[in-house]
């Protein structure tokens, strides 16, 4: 059984690697509390899956199931890591820009 501390530290360490600096526990708790306040709708609750990296990206699925390819599902050019799929993929950026334009 995982301790609560271990459950918290895994995502915290992964985010720190992606953003390029350490996140101390006080910052993490502040982020968590602010994020939790927004969980009034299902859309925001789904955000918790992303925040805690419950979303399984292609690279992770390929580790679990070797027959699957680890490449990004959208651009098919780079390894489909969690961070790439949500923030680095050029195809995802295009979709986000289109949605932003439509919303304006």
Per-residue pLDDT reduced to its tens digit, 10-30: 788 888 888 888 888 888 888
Same domain membership, residue 33 and residue 63: no
Same domain membership, residue 29 and residue 2: yes
Nearest to 73 by CA among 98, 14, 15, 84: 84
pLDDT of residue 36: 67
Same domain membership, residue 47 and residue 88: no
Nearest to 51 by CA among 76, 15, 102, 81: 15
Same domain membership, residue 34 and residue 82: no
Same domain membership, residue 28 and residue 63: no
pLDDT of residue 101: 84
pLDDT of residue 55: 78
Same domain membership, residue 95 and residue 62: yes
Domain interval for residue 67? 58-103
Comparison of pLDDT for 103 and 42, the residue scoring more: 103
Residue 10: both structure tokens together? 């895994």
C-alpha to C-alpha distance for 74 and 51, rounded to whole angstroms: 21
Q: Where is the domain boundary, 15, 40, 55?
A: 55
Number of structural domains the chain divides into: 2
Q: Name the phi and psi angles at 79, rounded to 5.
A: -65, 130
Same domain membership, residue 44 and residue 90: no
pLDDT of residue 94: 93
In the DSSP assignment, the letter for residue 79 is: B
Question: Can you give the pTM of this predicted structure?
Answer: 0.53
pLDDT of residue 90: 95
Comparison of pLDDT for 6 and 74, the residue scoring more: 74
Same domain membership, residue 49 and residue 35: yes
Confidence of residue 1 (pLDDT cuts 50, 70, 90): very low
**Residues in Cβ contact with 79 at an 8 Å cutoff, skipping those fewer than 6 apart:** 58, 59, 70, 71, 72
């Amino acid at each position: 059984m995982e301790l609560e501390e271990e459950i918290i530290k895994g995502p915290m360490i992964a985010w720190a690697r992606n953003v390029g600096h350490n996140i101390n526990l006080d910052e993490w708790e502040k982020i968590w509390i602010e994020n939790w306040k927004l969980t009034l709708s299902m859309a925001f609750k789904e955000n918790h899956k992303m925040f805690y990296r419950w979303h399984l990206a292609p690279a992770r699925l390929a580790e679990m199931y070797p027959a699957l390819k680890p490449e990004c599902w959208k651009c098919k050019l780079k390894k489909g890591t969690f961070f790439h799929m949500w923030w680095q993929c050029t195809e995802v950026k295009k979709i986000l820009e289109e949605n932003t334009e439509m919303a304006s």
